[in-house]
Every structure is written in structure tokens, then in C-alpha cells.
Amino acid sequence: MEILKDLFDEKIVRIINLFIENPQKKYSLTDVSNFSKVNITTTFRILHKLSEKDFLKAKVIGKVRFYQLNYNEKTKELTKLLKKDSDPIQEFISAISTHPRIRKIILESKENNTAKIIIVGDFIPQHQINRAIEQIKEKHNFKISYVEFSENQYLKLREFKYDLDKKIIWEKPRQT
């Protein structure tokens, strides 16, 4: 990471690191400014640039704009460059998101060495998921528990006002 600090503006690296360390978390402009210790004007400029380049996704809730890491090929490569050690959840996403029937991955909760994940899709390949969980458990001593929902079950939960959309950490891109 020291090499990147020499090549890039240190403020940009600090802001990007904030999002990489907490990929599922949404931050407001002032949160990013406070946590990264970058003044608010510079933070606004950097967030705008990162959103335009598709590294971050921005969502307006009420009158406040929230930013979250947009998990795609660009951010995956950037994460590999900036992360000292690999993140077991990102590794899990990489291992299972290639299957065409998986639509969404939702991080229900994460504690020290465990995570509870909801996988949305139809006829999900349990053997592939279980293999990925075992590899991560062996490599990182990190336990992942999951439950699968069909698309219909997910939509019905939304009708019951369960707000799972805030916890989505990966979603299959819509085909146009």
C-alpha cells in the first residue's frame, strides 16, 4: 500500500480504504470526511469522482446521499491491490457469485470470526457454496452460515417490510 500512497493522493487512498474495509456499510459525506480525516470539500470531490468511475454507488435517502462500495471487477482488483490480507466474505462472494442462478448475496450479520449470509436465487448449487465455506474456514478460521431464499420468498419478505436491500453486498447486474 505504501507504493500506492506514493503514486496517488493519500486522501484518495484513505477514502478508498474506508470503503474496502467495510464494503457492506453505507456512509454519508460527513461520515466519510470524519472517518478518513479529509476535509469535507475534498471528500465531496473524491466521492463524486469515485461514483462516476463506478467504484462507489450512491443512494439518496431523504435528503442525504449515502455511498457504498460497488462490488464489481474494478473494485475487486482494487481490493486485491489495497488489502493486506484477504477478506473471507469477499472471497466467498468471488467463489459463488459466478453461478448464474445466484441473484443476490445479503450479509445479515458479521461478528469476529462468523458471518450469517442470505443467498437469493433459484436452485442454488449447495455443493459449490459448501465447498467455498469449507475452504474459507480452513484458510481464515472464519465460519459462514447461510440460508437460501428463492426470488419469490425475497420479494414476499420485502412486502412484510423487512428491509434487506440495505444489507445487499453483491447483486447480479441486470441484463439490458
Span 100-123, average pLDDT: 91
Looking up residue 120, the CATH number of its domain turns out to be 3.30.460
Specify if 79 maps to a domain: no
Looking up residue 44, the CATH number of its domain turns out to be 1.10.10.10
Band of residue 86 on the pLDDT scale cut at 50, 70, 90: low
The alpha-helical segments, DSSP class H, found in the chain are 2-7, 10-21, 29-36, 40-52, 73-82, 88-96, 126-140, 151-159
* Boundaries of domain holding 127: 85-171
The answer to whether the beta carbons of residues 28 and 21 sit under 8 Å apart is no
- Predicted TM-score of the model (pTM): 0.54
Cβ neighbours for 106, distance < 8 A, ≥ 6 positions apart: 117, 118, 119, 120, 164, 167, 168, 169
Secondary structure (DSSP) of 56-106? EEEEEETTEEEEEE--SHHHHHHHHHH-SS--HHHHHHHHHTTSTTEEEEE
Identify the residue whose cell numbers are 414476499: 156
Specify if 74 maps to a domain: no
Q: What is the pLDDT of residues 130-148, one digit of tens each?
A: 999 999 999 888 999 999 9
pLDDT at 136: 92
The answer to whether the beta carbons of residues 120 and 138 sit under 8 Å apart is no
pLDDT at 173: 80
Q: Most distant CA pair in the chain: distance in Å?
A: 50
Q: What is the pLDDT of residues 95-105, one digit of tens each?
A: 998 888 999 99
Percent pLDDT > 90 in the chain is: 35
Identify the residue whose cell numbers are 436452485: 123
pLDDT at 13: 83
The number of beta carbons lying within 10 Å of the beta carbon of residue 5 is 12
Q: Domain boundary residue among 21, 39, 69?
A: 69
Can you read off the three cell numbers belonging to residue 140? 481464515
Q: Domain boundary residue among 10, 45, 69?
A: 69
pLDDT of residue 3 exceeding 70, the answer is no
pLDDT at 14: 85
pLDDT at 4: 56
One domain, residues 134 and 166: yes
Specify if 143 maps to a domain: yes
The domain total for the chain is 2
Can you read off the three cell numbers belonging to residue 18? 474506508
